[in-house]
C-alpha cells in the first residue's frame, strides 16, 4: 500500500504545504503529517477528498507508487487556468437572480398579508398583521 507516500508526493507536486492541505481538508497539520508518515490512515471521506484535490482515482491513490511513475522533478499536469472573470460574472448574475426572486417573494408575502387582513381580520389579529 502506497497511500502515505502518495499523499506526500501528490501534495508536493501540487505545490501545497501540509498546512495548505490541512486547511482544504479542515484537518490539523499534525493529522496531515500522520497521514504522510503512515501513522494514521485517512477515513474514506477524506481519501475521496484527496482524490478530488489531486485528480486521481482511489485505487491509484492507495495502490500505485505514484512517486516512481513520474519523472523526478516533474510536476503533475497543470489544470487549465481558471477564468475568474467568467466566474465572477456568473456569480453576479446569480446574485441578481436571487435578488429578483427575493423581491417577488416579498411582494407575494405583502399580497397575502393584505388578503388575510381583508378576508380574515380575526386571523390577522391573531398572527399580528393588524396595522
Q: Around 58, how many Cα atoms within 13 Å sit in the side-chain half-sphere?
A: 8
| Per-residue pLDDT band at 74 (split at 50, 70, 90) | low
State residue 78's pLDDT score: 54
Give the pLDDT mean for 85-89: 87
State residue 86's pLDDT score: 85
Out of 3.30.450.370, 1.10.260.40, 3.40.800.20, 1.10.3720.10, select the CATH number for domain 3-69: 1.10.260.40
Residues 6+ apart with CB under 8 A from 98: none
Give the pLDDT mean for 85-96: 90
Q: Is the pTM of this model over 0.75?
A: no
Buried b (16+ CB within 10 A) or exposed e, 16-35: bebeebbeebebeeebbebb
Residue with cell 475521496: 48
Q: How far apart are the first and last CA of the chain?
A: 71
Amino acid at each position: 500500500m502506497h497511500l502515505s507516500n502518495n499523499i506526500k508526493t501528490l501534495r508536493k507536486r501540487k505545490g501545497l504545504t501540509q498546512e495548505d492541505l490541512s486547511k482544504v481538508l479542515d484537518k490539523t497539520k499534525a493529522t496531515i503529517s500522520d497521514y504522510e508518515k503512515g501513522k494514521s490512515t485517512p477515513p474514506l471521506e477524506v481519501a475521496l477528498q484527496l482524490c478530488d484535490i489531486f485528480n486521481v482515482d482511489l485505487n491509484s491513490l492507495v495502490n500505485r507508487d505514484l512517486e516512481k511513475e513520474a519523472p523526478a522533478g516533474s510536476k503533475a499536469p497543470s489544470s487549465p487556468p481558471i477564468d475568474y472573470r467568467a466566474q465572477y460574472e456568473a456569480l453576479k448574475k446569480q446574485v441578481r437572480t436571487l435578488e429578483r426572486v427575493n423581491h417577488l417573494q416579498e411582494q407575494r408575502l405583502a399580497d397575502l398579508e393584505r388578503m388575510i387582513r381583508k378576508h380574515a381580520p380575526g386571523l390577522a389579529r391573531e398572527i399580528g398583521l393588524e396595522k
